Each structure stands twice: as structure tokens, then as C-alpha cells.
Structure 1
């Protein structure tokens, strides 16, 4: 698969010149991320990550980042897609009140565990049957099975995956997750499921947290929305151990990526600690509100940067087998999540 390599800033160039500035790329991704965040604020039904990726991909596809502009913005875009992303993922821990998630009951949590583990294993197996190898396969498996773009970027960071592979995986998450977001509530309601069952199935099967919110709203909001988000957070809870395992696997595999991958990334530790703090410390509502806004904005900036790496040739390189993998993984996750209807 052909990929686009995004330049990484270094202390000096080969000629001893000062390292390239990260300001242009950070400013660009921040502007796009802020636009996406404001769009979601004005139109809550539109996921922030979706808008951010689309804005970045549209700009990249227009040719506006080719040539000298690519050289100027690449260092900052790389920082945004890695370091800023880690801030957003770490702050995601503050959304996890573990007692509320555990209150769902062990049958529901067992389904969430089945979706994550079965989804990852099944997607990897399907990819190999399709003749796919490499980081894109791992990123799709994690993103579709856990929490979408945030999981893709978190795993990409710990495995040192190429930005173009991460961008392609994010685009597939956005595409397939949007289909599930709209179709699943309609199918569930036509099947005569009650709001709790619809919400549980949506939370167990939809890729992005933002897409789950939209699906819960389409299912009628209220109880359906609350249950959908809680079940989804049960899957998000598994992000930390999955990232740690995949990081360990990358180290064990050797080579450049494996040697550089940390065993337990700092942002994963922060994610766990913040989840513990959210659960057992009396944190002020204002702090949680501000942290939630910062988290949304950080993820929007990071997703915009990944979108900027999504050049037309990258999408073309995904090909029919990549699309088949995405469709098959989506169907697998939806089917694995279906038993939650009986457990809810």
C-alpha cells in the first residue's frame, strides 16, 4: 500500500539549520478543529470528529497543501496528530464514571468485552483472508471495535504508525460509523425494541462516541441516549488495556517501530488515572465541563491534522479490499453487539 509520509520535526536539519517551525501546521489544524468544534456546538447532531476530518481532507484534496505549503505545515500537523491527540485521549478518562458503567450489570459489560475482543480478532482474521497486512489492518480493527477515531489515533501513536495509514483508518471509521449511526436505530425501532434495548445496541455497535450520541438521539433521546452512551463508555474503558497490549506487541515485533514503541504510554496512564479520579473524587462540575470542552477541541484539532494527511492517492490506495474489510468489520461489530438487546 502506498502511503504519504508526514515529515517529523527534528532538532536540526542535515545542514545544521534550525528545525522547521511547528507553528504553521498547528495554526492550520487548530483553525480547522475550532471550526469543527463550533459547527458541532451550533448543530449538535453533527459529530465534531466527522467535520474535522472532512475539513482537513477537503483542504488536502484541493491541492492547497501541495508543494511548499506541505513542507511548511508538515511538522505542526504531525505534532497535532500525535501530541495534541494524546491530550484528548487522556481527558477522555474524565468521561468515565466507573461506578455508572459497572451499574449496567455484568451481562451488558460481557457483551462490551465480546464486541472489543471479538471485533479486533475477527477483523484481523478477515483482513488476512483478504490478503491485507500492515498497520492499516491493526488500526481498523481497533477503531471499529473500541471507540473510532480516538482509538485509531491512540493505537497509531503507540505503534508509530504512519499518519497516512491513520488517516485512511479514520476515514473508514467516519464512513462506516455514519452508516451504522443512521441505520441501526431505524432497524431496531422497526423490530419493536424498546428505548433501553435500542440504546444498548447502538452503544455496543456504533464506532464513535459522537456517532453514538447521534444514534441515541435518533432512537428518541432520553433513556435511549443515556443507555447508549453508558454502554459505549463500557467499550471505551477497554481502550487502555488494548493500547498497552498492542504497544507491547509492537515492541516484541522488533524493527524500527517495535523498538521505539513505549510499553505503557504516558497518555494511557493519564487516561486510567483520570477515570479513577472521575469515579472516586468529588470533582467540581465546572472542571468536568471545561475538561470536556478541551477534550473535544483537542480531538477535533488532531482529527483535522489527520484529515490533512488524507490525500486522494491515499484513499485510492485503500482499494476494494480495504473497503471490504471496513464493511465486514462493521457488520461483525453490529452482530456481536446484538446480544446486548437480551441483556439490557
Structure 2
């Protein structure tokens, strides 16, 4: 009797393969999540709270890569964290925004935010060209200064074809300057000659990160803190049009005539529209405050995991390539923004 030749089930082989593919990213995700949790603990300390969990996460990632290197088999998960989890975090970040609150604050606040972003972007991009700073790096530092620090940088970076080291360098520059700026604001508050409300407008319209704004708003009390956060969130809301414009003008620098002439060829980032959708959901007021708080916490944690992944993807030698002119660009841009903020407060208030 002939014994039939039984072949392994393709379905079974596929199932085993699928299970193995699901396991591949876990090692890298676990590492980035661990670094993010550690960053959260560090961020609870008085001084480090100014820097914020996202900035500390990227610094821990860079430190781990320099001292321990990336574990074997963790690269897939690290890439997953720095790309997909980042986009998920950006989408959830939209729940911070309530457009009604921003509009109710008055057109003066909205106008100040628009002027601040337009002035900072235009000034820093042209200054970057004059200083011969790498075009992509200059745009990232400009958008980080103008809009909302690291969150703006990591949102815009994939839209303009930025490299990981350029993103990390930009985040580092913004983190350092924003932290120094927040400390100076806290100590110089008595000498600004501003009441708590106008000081809140000034801090919210000029500092880089939301963490910087929250820290700097403390000396002026609740009025200052609430106003600063509201003005800052107005800048965050403008991330959507800014990202779309920059993605159109700076996408790899190689746009064809067809792309120039047709809006349909605009590289639309789906996660930016997810951000907008979450903002609209929050604006409706249908979500309970406890759930909104949960989503905000999840957003910060996901973006912190992504920052850790970004830090693990770069080398310290990349920072040596920054160049003096890049640092000059970041400093001059922030100083110019600070001066503009004082002028706008005196004009509008």
C-alpha cells in the first residue's frame, strides 16, 4: 500500500510565521517603553519637570545608545515606536485642544499666535539660509521655535524628508533653549512689569514646549498659568496649516511642475487630520473630563516612547556635525521671538 505524501499545512506555517512577526517588535518596544517610564520618573523632580518627559526620553535614548548600544533584534521595535507610536501620540494630542476656548479668549490671542508663528518661521528660515545652515535642519528648528517644540518637530520631520539625526539635533536645541528660557522667565518675572494675565500671554506666545510654558507661568499664579497654557494651545492648533504648508514647499526639495499646479498632489499627512478630528471631538464637549485626561496622558506617553526610539536611533557623533551657525540660528530665533512677544503684549494690551 502506497503511503500518501502529506505536506505541511500552508495555513499552519502562515500562522506560525504571523506569530513570529508579531513578536519581532516586542523587544524594541519594551526597551523604548521602559526608557519612557524612567523619563517620567525623572521628570517628576523639580528641575527636570521644566524639561518634560519627552525631552528626557530622547536624552535617555541617546545615552543608552552611547553606553549600551541597541540590543540585537530590537531595531524593528524601535523603528515601530519612533514611527507608528509617534503618529498615534500626535493624533491623541489633538484632544488637548478646544477651539471654543481659544476663540473665546478673544481674537487678540489668536492674532498674536498667528503673528508669532509667521514671523518666527519667515525670520528663521531666511536667517538659516544666510547662515548656510542645512535647509531641513533650519526648518525643523524654526518650526520647533515657532509652534510647539519637540511635538512640532517630530510631526513635521517626516513630511519634509528629515533624517533621524536632524530631528534629534533639532529637538535637543529646542529643549536646551526652552529650558533656559523658562528659568530666566521665572527669575525675571518681577522685572517684566507685566500683570499676571499679560505675562501669561507673553510666556505662552514665546516659549517652546508646553512644559516650559507651564513652568514659567507659575510665578504669576493661576491666572498667569491658565492664560499661558491657553495661548500656547492656540499655537499648537496652528500646527495643522503649518505642517501642510511646509510639507508642500519642502518635501525632499524635488517638486515637479505637476505637483506645483495640482492641490491633489499635496503630500497630506493622515495623522495631522487625525489630530484635527480629535480636536473637533473634544470641542463638542461630549467626552467626560476624566476620559480626556486619560487620552492626554496616553498621548504624552506614546510620544515619549517615540522620543526614546528616536534617541536610540542616533549616535552622539551626529551632534558634532551641528555646527556653530545652527546654534546661532536657534539662539537668535528665540531672542527675536522674545522681543516680538514683548512688543505684541505692549501693542495689544
Normalising by structure 2, we get a TM-score of: 0.85
Query: Is 1:232 the equivalent of 2:249?
Result: no
Shift of residue 146, structure 1, vs aligned partner:
0.3
SS at 1:37's partner residue? helix
Structure 1 or 2: larger helix share?
Answer: 2
Aligned residues: 319
Query: Is 1:108 the equivalent of 2:109?
Result: yes
Match of 1:23 among 23, 26, 29: 26
**1:207 equivalent in structure 2:** 208
Match of 1:279 among 276, 280, 283: 283
**2:36 equivalent in structure 1:** 33
Q: Distance in 1 between matches of 2:107 and 2:91?
A: 26
Question: Does structure 1 conserve the Cα–Cα contact (< 8 Å) formed by 2:82 and 2:310?
Answer: yes
When residues 191 and 252 of structure 1 are mapped into structure 2, their CA distance, relative to the original with a 3 A threshold, is closer
Shift of residue 134, structure 1, vs aligned partner:
3.0
Shift of residue 279, structure 1, vs aligned partner:
0.9
Q: What does 1:113-152 correspond to in 2, within 5 Å?
A: 113-152=114-153
**1:53 equivalent in structure 2:** 58
When residues 75 and 177 of structure 1 are mapped into structure 2, their CA distance, relative to the original with a 3 A threshold, is same
Shift of residue 24, structure 1, vs aligned partner:
2.6
Q: Distance in 1 between matches of 2:135 and 2:30?
A: 32
Shift of residue 262, structure 1, vs aligned partner:
6.7
Q: Deviations over 1:71-123 (max 9, x none)?
A: 63333222212211111111111111111111221122211111111111111
Q: Distance in 1 between matches of 2:309 and 2:223?
A: 35
SS at 2:292's partner residue? helix
When residues 191 and 220 of structure 1 are mapped into structure 2, their CA distance, relative to the original with a 3 A threshold, is closer
**2:327 equivalent in structure 1:** 323
Q: Distance in 2 between matches of 1:150 and 1:288?
A: 19
Q: What does 1:156-175 correspond to in 2, within 5 Å?
A: 156-175=157-176
**1:290 equivalent in structure 2:** 294
Query: Is 1:311 the equivalent of 2:328?
Result: no
SS at 2:158's partner residue? helix
Question: Does structure 2 conserve the Cα–Cα contact (< 8 Å) formed by 1:189 and 1:198?
Answer: no
Q: Deviations over 1:274-333 (max 9, x none)?
A: 111111242111210110110110111111122223422111110211111111111122
**1:247 equivalent in structure 2:** 247
Q: Distance in 2 between matches of 1:192 and 1:317?
A: 41
Q: Distance in 2 between matches of 1:212 and 1:167?
A: 21
SS at 1:65's partner residue? coil
Query: Is 1:301 the equivalent of 2:305?
Result: yes
Question: Does structure 1 conserve the Cα–Cα contact (< 8 Å) formed by 2:143 and 2:152?
Answer: yes
**2:185 equivalent in structure 1:** 184
Query: Is 1:341 the equivalent of 2:345?
Result: yes
Normalising by structure 1, we get a TM-score of: 0.86
Unaligned segments of structure 1, at least 5 residues: 1-17
SS at 2:268's partner residue? coil
When residues 305 and 197 of structure 1 are mapped into structure 2, their CA distance, relative to the original with a 3 A threshold, is same
Q: Deviations over 1:111-140 (max 9, x none)?
A: 111111111111111111111123211111
Question: Does structure 2 conserve the Cα–Cα contact (< 8 Å) formed by 1:114 and 1:336?
Answer: no
Q: Distance in 1 between matches of 2:84 and 2:36?
A: 15
**1:81 equivalent in structure 2:** 82
